[in-house]
Every structure is written in C-alpha cells, then in structure tokens.
Structure 1
Amino acid sequence: MRGPHNILRLIRTGATFERTGAMAAVLDAVDAPMRLRLAARVMGWPFRWLGYKGDPTLPPITRAITALGPAYIKFGQILSTRADVVGPELAGQLRMLQDRLPPFPTDIAKAVIEADLRAPVDELFSEFSEPVAAASIAQVHRARVRETGREVAVKVVRPGIGPAFKRDIDAFHFGARMVEMLSPGARRLRPRDVVSHFEQTVTGEQDLRLEAAAASEFSENTARDAGFQVPLPHFALCSRRVLTADWAEGLPMGDREALIAAGHDTTDLARRVIQLFLSHALRDGFFHADMHHGNLKVAANGDVIAYDFGIMGEIDEYTRRVYAQILYGFIQRDYRLVARVHFEAGYVPRDRDEAAFARALRAVGEPIFGADASRISMGNLLSYLFEVTERFGMPTRTELILLQRTMVVVEGVARSLDPQLNIWDAAKPVVSDYIKAGIGPKAAAHDLAQIAQTVGRYGPLLPRIIERMLWERAHPEEARLTLIQTRPAVPLWLVAVLALAAGAGIGLSL
C-alpha cells in the first residue's frame, strides 16, 4: 500500500467536502457543537484547493461524494436510508446516489456487451434503450431479447471501476492501520478486518456472474414467500461484466407519495419489508444485503420486488440461532437471556460478570422500549449495544457486519414508508416463529438426524479406523516411530457410538 498516496487521498477527502460546501452540510445534519465546527474549518480550509470540484449542479454533499468515487458513494447510499439520523432533507439529497448517478455512454455499454457475449447487440436484442438507471458500479438498460421477445434489464459494469475501487480501498486500509496505531483501544473493533470485509464484498459485486448465481439461489429460497418477487437471470446472456435478467415493473419503494396515490398500504409494505428481511436472514441464512430504496420496487399487485443482488449476506445456522435469541431476548425484555447468549457464544470474554452485563443491557433496552413507536430504532439499539459491548471487551464480529448494516438500512426503508412503524412489533412474529422452529425439541431431533447422516456417510471408513486404532494399541513403539501417535486417539466406546450412529444415519437417509 502506498503511504503518501493514501495520506493525500484522505486529505483530499476532507478538502473535497470543504470545497463543495458539504462539510457545513454534514456538520449541520449531525448538529455538531461549535468547537467541532471551528476545528473542521481550521483543518479543512488550508487544503481546500486540493479538493475535487465535483458537479456544481448537485447538492453539496452529493456533489462531494460523487466526486470522491464509488466507495464513498456506497457509504452515501447507506446514509440515504437514515432520515431519522441525517434528517429528511439530507436523506433526500443522498437518495439520488442509489440509481440516478451520471451514466456512461450507451456506445461504450454496447461495446462491453459485444466483447463479453461475443455477438453484436442487434443480434442479441431487438430493442436496447439508453440508460434507465446508473449506480456506483454499473448502469442498467431496458431491452428485449430478440430470440424470445422477453423484456429484460441489461446491467453493464462501469469501465475502469476496478482500479477506482482499489484506490479508495487502499486508502481505507491505510486509514484503518493509522487508527489502530494511534488508538490502541480501537483495535478491538478490528478496523482492518472490517475494511477487508468491505473489499471482499465490493470485489465480488464487480463480477456479475456471481450476482446472477445469487439471484438464482435467492429466487429458489424465496419462491414460497407471499408478496415477494425476484427477477430471474438469463444465464446465456450473462458474463463477468454483463447481467441480463427479467424486467421488474413497479413503482420505486422510495416514492411514498406515488405508492399512496396508487392505492398501496405503506404501513403494510413497511412491515413486510422488515419481516421479509428477517425471514431470509434467519430462515435461509442467505439475504439481500443491499436492500435500499434503489433496489426495491412495488408491483401493481402490491408485491415487493427486490433486485440487484451484487451484495448478499450469508450466516451459518449457529450464528443465526445466536442472533435470533439476542433479538428475541430484547423483544421479550429478557436481558438475562441476552447476556447468557453473548457469553455462551463467546462474544464476551468469560472473565466478565454476566449479571453486570445483563444490567448494562437493561440500561440499553428499557429507554428504547419506553419510547413511542417513531423513536424505537434498531439502529439506536445497535449503537447503544456497541457502547456496552465495548466496555465489556467484546471484539467486532466481522461475520455480522453485513447483517447489522442491512438491518439498519432496511429499518430506514421501512421508516420512510411509515414513520410510526414499531420495529419490534414487526420483527416479533418472524423471530418468534424461528425460535420455535429452530430452537426446541423438533430442531434438536433434526440436528441429531443430520449428525447421524453425516456419520453414516463416513461409515465405510470405520473398519479402517478401528483396525488402525487396534494396531496402534498393539504396537505402541512402532506407532511412535511412524508418527501415527500424532493423530488423536479414538476410544473404543466412541468407535462403537460412531458405528451405531452410522447405521442410524444410513437408515435415516433411506
């Protein structure tokens, strides 16, 4: 990583915000104290000339973010869903980052398609429009497949996006290292791991073949979800830089007035968005991790349509159960349960006081539950929970970053549809159903069956394991000479249990 380049990049970030007037807008949005405003002006003004000019027709903060590049745009997309944090005016300005960025020329998009799909665009599509949406990584054209006549969306990656992201992420890595060096207390947050996680995510988002595969899997998982649609990809017309999928016709989720005018129940939509996300995360362990307004539409029949599957989250069964129990504990206001789950999962060091941790959690939860519906926020809960876990030495769980971030984004979407939505009431039935199905006697029986089936698959190896174990016991010296003793010793009783389990597993699999 190039230190001088990264220092300049970080300085230029602040300078761009100063030059475009975004610095003042940000400070106003967060209601910064006078001392912080003064410090920002003193530090930003000398480097103002280093900042990017940006598009003067855009609002200041949107102008600064678009000038700085795709990684910053991604961050702006997240903030655009948090009107309760940055204010309705700033959230409205940032919303254009979701799908209304300046497009690149259609001729370049056609050249990319022809190079990747090895055929002229006119042979593949009977109709091909100008860009209908443009985001940080790609833009979308509306088209019609010549062979089938089906209307599709054709997504094309922006030229040069890879190096642009690499430059930004390089600076983020440098900044994370500086944070760890200058603030040892911040190491528990694992900022470098967080940046690496972000890098892995955006790198995968640039390969549209992976997005097509994710859309296909997500569609299979959610096929029985009432009121939910996923546009299917056309794999024959997909490549690394090109994705073709069914056209999704509907009203933008971010246009509340248009949804109301069309007769849609925005309260029901808000509740459904929350419940769909939690169902996908807890039930399937595979969820849309970029569910902002720009990636959601509402069909004429009221179905929620999700698209753009470049960022997907995946969590294993154990983590899902832990997360569900934490949510359920907060919903039930059972802080002892939440504390116990944190300790059992190893999230909090064992040498800390569980009872004290439970009381700290109560201090987090009770003020939130005591507030009116419009002030009950999952984002606030995560923020307060972060403060508590910091005091108790809990490290950042990088595997939960996407889940937590998406929860905040989805809440922002739901809140924009219904500012009075009670997030906990919306989440409770989904979490409760998962707890009943995933944690209980039925789930335990399912787990035992899976264990038996797994052992059953290794059944043919059991005679060899027994033979080797008996030989090691009969010839201990030779076993040591051949280093066989480095393998864990297997007690006879365990071999017998494994053999019985193997038989049970074979029977269950039949």
Structure 2
Amino acid sequence: MIPPFSHLIRLARAGFVLAREGVFALIDPTPLPGAAQLGLKALRLLERPTSASGAARLSTALGKLGPSYVKLGQFLATRPDVVGQAIATDLEKLQDRMPPFPQDQAEAAIERSLGRPLHKMFASFGPPLAAASVAQVHRAEIDTPAGRRSVAVKVLRPGIEADLRADIQAFFFAARMAERMSAEARRLRFEEVVATLARSVTVEMDLRLEAAAASEMADNVKDDTDFRVPTVEWDLTAHNVLTTEWIDGTPLSDRAALERRGLDLPVLGRTVIQSFLRHAVRDGFFHADMHPGNLFVDDAGRLVAVDFGIMGRLTEKERRFLAEILYGFISRNYRRTAEVHFEAGYVPGHHSVEAFMQAVRAIGEPIHNRNAEDISMAKLLTLLFEVTALFDMKTRPELLLLQKTMVVVEGVGRMLDPKLDMWRTSEPVVRTWLERHLGPAGRVEGAVEGVGEVGRFLGGVPGLLGRGARIAEQLDRATRDGIVLSPETVAGIGDAERRRARGTTIALWVIAALLFLHLWR
C-alpha cells in the first residue's frame, strides 16, 4: 500500500508540469468557488510563455508526465461529460508516441517471458518500428513448415507496470479527495472514472488479453469478405509479449499510396463505416481505436485492423438501443427513438415520453434539411447524450466509448470520401440487424430461448423434490430416534408443506400459461 504522502508528491509534480505548460488556462474559473479561483490564479503564475494552442499545451504536458498520463488523456477523450466537449476534442488529437527503449532490453524481456533464446524462436529480429507509451513493435521472421514468414512482435516497456500502478493509485487518491469536497465530482463519479481507466490499463498490461481480443474478433469476422484480423502466434505470446502475423498492407493514413494502388476510396470509406457498425451491432464487440494508423488495406483489397489493446463491448440491450435509435433517426420515427430510451432504463420512468420525443425531434429534424455529407452521426449522438442529461440519463461509459469510436471512424470514412453519406451507408447494416433480431426470425429464436429457460427450471424440479424427500427422511429419523416434536412444530411443518405444494402447483400453471402465450405471440 503506497502512503498518501507519496500520492501527494506524484500529484504535486503533475500539477507543476500542467501549470508550467499552461494547461490551467483551459479551465473556466467562473463556476469555481472563491478559494479554487485563487488557487487557479496562483498556478497560472507558473506558466511559461508559449504560442501553442490549448490542444498542443495539453498534449505536451501529458507527454512529459509519461505513459500513465498519456493513457489518462486518451481515456478522458472518451468522457466529454467529465472534461467538456472542447477539451475532449483536443484530447482526441493526442498521439501515443514515445521514444523506443533499447533493443537489448526488448530481446532480454522476450527471452525471459518465453523461456527460450531469441535465435531459437526467430530467424531474424529487427529494430523497433513503432513505440508507444506502453509497448513497442518489432518486425521479425519465423520458420514454419510452409517457409519463412514475417511477424510483428509487441513488447511491453520494462518497469511500465509498476509505474502505471503507482500513478493509478494516485489518481484514485485524487478522485476520492475530489468527491469528498465536491458534489459535482460525486455526480460525475470520479472514482468510477478512474476505476474504468484502471480496468482498461490492466487489459493493456497483459498482452495475452490483447491476443484473446484479436482471436475473438477474428472468429466474429471469419465470414466477412472485406475485413480481417491478423493471426495470433500463441506459441510466441506471453504476459508481456504478443506475436502476430505481419501485415504487408497500405495504411489508411497514406492516401497517396492508396491512390497509387488504384483503390476505390469511396468504397473503402463505406467499408470502414459498415465494418465498424457490424462489429458493434452484430457482434457487440468492436475495435475502439480505429484511427488510420491502425487500419491497413492488404494485397487482396481487404481492410485489416491491428492493435487490439482498447476494445468495446455492448450487451444485447445496448445493441438494440443503438440500432433502434439510429434507425429511428434514419426513418424519422422519433417516438420509437424516445421509447427505446425508456425501455432500456436509460431515462427514468417519471419523465414524459412525449416530452422526450419532442427533444429528440429537435435533434433529428435539422439533419433532414441538410446534404447527406454535412450530417455527422457522431455529432448527432453527442447532441442526443447532451439532451438525455436534461432527462436524468446516467452516464453510460460503454456508450461514450462507442460514441468516441464513431467520431474517429466517421473521420476516417470522410477522409477517404468527403461526400460520404453516413445514413445511406449505415442503413443496410442497422436494418438487417433489426429485421434479424426484432422480426419473425428473431421472435422464433426468442421463443426457443424462452422454452430453454423453462426447460432448465423444470430440470431443476427433481432436485428440489429430492431435497424435500431428504428433509422428510431426517424428520422421520428424528422421530424414530426418540426426538419429540411439539404438536405446534408438527402442525407448522404440515402447514408449510401444504403451502409449498400449493405454491409449486400455481407456479407451474403460471409458467405453462406464460409459455403458451409467448409461443402464440
């Protein structure tokens, strides 16, 4: 357990760096109490002269503070409810690039993790090609029965886990202090924000989990003809080493190279959008860091994603919520869009569906009077979440991560095709999912699942009866052994058994009736 004094030292250093880079100039002092305003003015005395923009100041400060703060900045970009939309937009531009660590340290870490000399695992092992705050990537070659093959080897930075753990604990300390002193911090649930960051970082600190995410997505997209995922080399993967197939493709960040290959960029833009929506709506598991540097086009013209350290999940309820609100806006069915919020439990029932529908219409109607290329689905969702805050909708971290990813994906699509029609591109994916899950086929599947639930319940009935028989045997044995039960106890047992029998009979009849009704519908 790290003592609070250590947290204070870490936080004081961070505060000094942020003040020195002029980050506190981005904070509006108006809503702050008097003491906080004075503190903010004092911190601004430490600013060094600079002509850099707010985004550049923040990026510079977080980069100087190290990997934990780079991750914090990237995470807060997904939480405009906490930092405000302007700062969240600035943080989207934060690049996770760091100087590489020495080659010999990387090689030693791989040998320790995999328990073998490097030359027995790799035919060749090159220098680092990309370095981020948590890990760096090397290109290597392995010998296989089919011949020599290139692979990408990702290695965690030495000592990164201890540094991140200490910084995360300091973040928790700061969040607890803020919640004790500020009602607004309690409303925004600062501790929960840090807890979510901690879970995300924990996943990134174990590269086996990233390998599992890549493997799961590969299974999900195995039948897709326009999207694929690199194969994981499990024999060369461990806690701090991840080895995957090397992708010889063109990055989406290199538009000139894409044009030289003669690729149809508008089609590629639609593929990016539709792939993301298929993963989110169809699979409930999506790549949450789909910036152009993580997307390639292989020799077969398929889209390939890399770097599965940040992933998003949506439950069935959340997928239906997303699909129905998007389709509601596409079809101008604002009442259904409003009703979905109430059915999902996102908006409390004491609010009026009609009033909420009016607010949804205020967001949706303007988009139908504009050109398709001017309509941003991501901005629409941002406006929707702002409106839902007026109706006491609680923060949904999974939906905010989805929104943040949609902003990035939409930007990639429009980079490839400035006239991309987001709605026409999205409609087939969303409509297909709704027809599949809410149409006749989906209802049959739901009925079958309902029968399965009843079957599992009925399958447990013999066990319940068996336990009842054992209790009866114990009572009979107690009587034979001379244990005297009072008349009141015997009567109570009899009454309880009769009530239990009547309750079981009524429950079975109710289950049968509900099952019949469900199948009939």
> Gaps spanning 5+ residues in structure 2: where?
49-55, 79-84, 473-489, 516-521
Compute the displacement of 1:291 (Å): 1.8
Q: Which amino acid aligns with 1:146?
A: D
Match of 2:437, as an amino acid?
A: G
Please list, as runs of the form range in 1=range in 2, the aligned pairs for 1:347-386 lying within 5 A after superposition: 347-386=346-385
Distance 1:488 1:329 in 2: 49
Deviations 1:396-417 (A, max 9, x none): 1234343333223322332333
Shift of 1:277: 1.1
The 2-side partners of 1:227 and 1:319 are apart by 25
Alpha-carbon contact 2:100-2:136 (below 8 Å) kept: yes
Residue ranges of structure 1 left out of the alignment (5+ in a row): 50-58, 503-510
Q: Indicate if the aligned counterparts of 1:79 and 1:86 stay in contact, CA closer than 8 A.
A: no
Question: Residue 428 of structure 2 aligns with which residue?
Answer: 429
Q: Return 115-124 or 347-356, whichever deviates more.
A: 347-356
- Matched with 2:51 is none
- Partner SS state of residue 305, structure 1: strand
Residues 193-342 of structure 1: matches in 2 within 5 Å?
193-342=192-341
Q: Which residue of 2 aligns with 1:124?
A: 121
Match of 2:405 in 1: 406
Match of 1:477 among 492, 495, 514: 492
Q: For this pair of structures, how many residues does the alignment match?
A: 480
**Would the alpha carbon gap of residues 80 and 313 (structure 1) be closer, same or farther in structure 2, given more than 3 Å must change?**
closer
Match of 1:136 in 2: 133
Aligned pairs for 1:431-450 (under 5 A) are: 431-450=430-449
Q: Given the superposition, is the C-alpha separation of residues 12 and 330 from structure 1 closer, same or farther in structure 2, using an over 3 Å criterion?
A: farther
**Cα displacement (A) at 1:436:** 0.7
Deviating more after overlay: 302-311 vs 464-473: 464-473
- Aligned to 1:150, the other structure's residue is in SS state strand
- Alignment CA distance shift 1:4-1:367 (3 Å): farther
Structure 1 residues 268 and 219, CA gap change in structure 2 (3 angstroms): same
Closer/same/farther in 2, CA of residues 64 and 12 from structure 1, 3 Å limit: same
Q: Give per-residue Cα distances to partners, 1:40-66, cap 9 Å, x unaligned.
A: 9945433459xxxxxxxxx75543222
Q: Does 1:495 align with 2:508?
A: yes
Q: Distance in 2 between matches of 1:307 and 1:222?
A: 14
The 5 Å alignment of 1:60-75 reads 61-74=58-71
Secondary structure class of the residue paired with 1:225: coil
What amino acid sits opposite 1:409 in the alignment?
A: V
Separation of aligned partners in 2, 1:318 and 1:413: 28
Q: What are the Cα deviations for residues 352-385 of structure 1, in whole angstroms up to 9, with x where unaligned?
A: 1221111112222333444444542233223322
- Give the counterpart letter for 2:493 in structure 1: E
State the one-letter code of the partner of 1:453: G
Distance (Å, rounded) in 2 between the aligned partners of 1:279 and 1:260:
26
Question: Where do residues 91-106 of structure 1 align in structure 2 (5 Å cutoff)?
Answer: 94=93, 97-98=95-96, 100-106=97-103
Select 1:111's aligned residue among 108, 111, 127: 108
How far off its partner does 1:71 sit?
A: 3.5
Q: State the AA in 2 paired with 1:348.
A: V
Separation (CA, whole Å) in 1 of partners of 2:502 and 2:211: 46
CA distance, structure 2, for counterparts of residue 401 and residue 476 of structure 1:
59
Separation (CA, whole Å) in 2 of partners of 1:17 and 1:8: 14
Shift of 1:18: 4.6
User: Could you list the per-position Cα deviations for residues 203-236 of structure 1 after superposition, in whole angstroms to 9, with x for gaps in the alignment?
Assistant: 0111111111221121111011121121010111
Shift of 1:11: 5.2
Residue 422 (structure 1) shift: 3.1
Is the Cα–Cα contact under 8 Å of residues 374 and 420 in structure 1 kept in the other structure? yes
Aligned-partner SS, 1:146: strand
* Deviation digits for residues 482-505 of structure 1 (CA, Å, limit 9, x no counterpart): 9x99x9995424435768999xxx
Asked if the contact 2:59–2:91 (Cα under 8 Å) also holds between the matched residues in 1, the reply is: no
Contact 2:72 2:197 in 1 (8 A): no
Alignment map for 1:45-194 (pairs within 5 Å)? 45-48=44-47, 61-74=58-71, 94=93, 97-98=95-96, 100-148=97-145, 149-185=148-184, 187-194=186-193
**Do the aligned partners of residues 227 and 456 (structure 1) sit closer, same or farther apart at CA in structure 2, a change above 3 Å counting?**
same
Code of the residue aligned with 1:360 in structure 2: it is A
RMSD of aligned Cα (Å): 4.0
8 Å CA contact 1:267–1:418 kept in 2: the answer is yes
> For residues 397 and 488 of structure 1, what CA distance do their matches in structure 2 show?
44
The Cα offsets for residues 278-334 of structure 1, whole Å up to 9 and x where unpaired, read as 101111112212222232112233211111112222222222112211222222222
Q: Contact between 1:123 and 1:146, CA under 8 Å: does it hold in 2?
A: no
1:6-45 equivalence runs, <5 A: 6=7, 9-10=10-11, 12-13=13-14, 15-20=16-21, 42-45=41-44
Equivalent residue, structure 1, for 2:52: none
Contact 2:215 2:232 in 1 (8 A): yes
2:505 counterpart letter in structure 1: L
Shift of 1:114: 0.4
How far, CA to CA, are the matches of 1:308 and 1:467 in structure 2? 53
Q: Using a 3 Å threshold, how does the CA distance of structure 1 residues 192 and 143 change in structure 2: closer, same or farther? A: same
Give 1:151 shift.
Answer: 1.1
- Structure 2 Cα separation of the partners of residues 40 and 381 of structure 1: 37
TM-score by length of 1: 0.81
User: Separation in 1 of the partners of 2:172 and 2:105?
Assistant: 32
